[in-house]
Amino acid sequence: MKRVLLFFLFVFIFFLDAEAQCAMCRAVLESEETQSAAEGINDGIVYLMAIPYILVGGIIFFIYKKYGTLKK
């Protein structure tokens, strides 16, 4: 248990700085004048980020409704 805690502490404190995009994606997005591809990439990221939160929120809602009504 001590090793696991030490590992996670090490990972969170001494993480490496990483680029958010691959070199090719970054070059294409920076060189485009209209920025429509960049907007599309950003929209895709938002959709990918939102779906898990919606699913978890729905599961929590249904669990609350199921077990919240049993207490009454």
pTM comes to 0.47
Q: CA–CA separation, 50 vs 34, rounded Å?
A: 26
Asked whether residue 55 is domain-assigned, the answer is: yes
Asked whether residue 13 is domain-assigned, the answer is: no
Whether residue 2 is predicted with pLDDT greater than 70 in this model: the reply is yes
Share of residues in the chain with pLDDT > 70 (%): 79
33 versus 61: the higher-pLDDT residue is: 61
Residue 33 belongs to domain spanning = 18-68
Whether residue 18 is predicted with pLDDT greater than 70 in this model: the reply is no
C-beta atoms surrounding 35 within 10 Å = 11
Asked whether residue 9 is domain-assigned, the answer is: no
Token pair for 67: 């077990």
Asked whether residue 11 is domain-assigned, the answer is: no
The length of the chain, given as a count of residues: 72
Q: Which residue has the tokens 């669990």?
A: 63
- How many domains does the chain contain in total? 1
5 versus 58: the higher-pLDDT residue is: 58
